[in-house]
Structure 1
């Protein structure tokens, strides 16, 4: 069993396979466990990420799991919650004369 799960952020380097001469970040979708591989290798599917963490290419990679390094997720700026929507303006309605 491998220690990887969908959503993991991985650093891919030559330690995972000699084909990766340029290191890059990779967001894992899933491990392709139904594929036949050599002992000690995995097929993984996910997205190659750019410097901003945006997906630039969907890829399937043949890697040695011991060469993959999990990265901690990037901390995104806190998102402001939208202001609650108020029903009515607080003014009396014309039809009934009551507040909404």
Structure 2
């Protein structure tokens, strides 16, 4: 599983030995930094128990050790808007 922007992950010791205390992590992006095979650099936010971001972090983890808690919302297609009418401007009396 390759995480994508918006995914919420449960990161445990299975992902890296640095996570003796598991964290919940919302992905901003997968960084394109050189790594070992099967490892990733992720940029995102550590979340507290209520789902609020408490700190921004970049973490180095094994892809196979990540557990997805919530997937990112599906990308909505761009909607085309109709042309707007020009605004009628009239002089304003001051004083």
Structure 2 gaps, min length 5:
72-95
RMSD: 1.1
Q: TM-score, normalised by structure 1?
A: 0.68
Q: Does the residue aligned with 2:50 lie in a helix, a strand or coil?
A: coil
Higher relative CO (Cα under 8 Å, sequence separation at least 6) belongs to 2
- From 52, 55, 58, the counterpart of 1:57: 55
Structure 1 gaps, min length 5:
74-100
Deviation at 1:72, TM superposition (A): 2.6
Q: Does the residue aligned with 1:5 lie in a helix, a strand or coil?
A: coil
User: How far does the alpha carbon of each residue in 1:40-90 deviate from its partner, in whole angstroms, 9 at most, with x for none?
Assistant: 1100000000011000000000000100000136xxxxxxxxxxxxxxxxx
User: How far does the alpha carbon of each residue in 1:6-43 deviate from its partner, in whole angstroms, 9 at most, with x for none?
Assistant: 0000000000000100011000000002x111111100
Q: Which structure's CA Rg is the greater one? A: 1
More strand by share: 2
Q: TM-score, normalised by structure 2?
A: 0.71
Tell me if 1:66 matches 2:83: no
Q: Does the residue aligned with 2:45 lie in a helix, a strand or coil?
A: strand
Greater than 6 Å deviation, 4+ residue runs: none
Tell me if 1:6 matches 2:5: yes
